[in-house]
Amino acid sequence: KQEVTQIPAALSVPEGENLVLNCSFTDSAIYNLQWFRQDPGKGLTSLLLIQSSQREQTSGRLNASLDKSSGRSTLYIAASQPGDSATYLCAVTLFSGGYNKLIFGAGTRLAVHP
Which residues make up the interface to another protein (CB under 8 A)?
A: 31-32, 34, 36, 41-46, 49, 51, 89, 91, 93, 95, 97-102, 104-107
Shortest Å distance, C-beta 39 to another protein? 10
Question: Which of 21/80 has CB closer to another protein?
Answer: 21
Question: Which of 34/73 has CB closer to another protein?
Answer: 34
Backbone angles phi and psi of 8, in degrees to 5 = -80, 170
Question: Which of 24/93 has CB closer to another protein?
Answer: 93
Shortest Å distance, C-beta 102 to another protein? 6
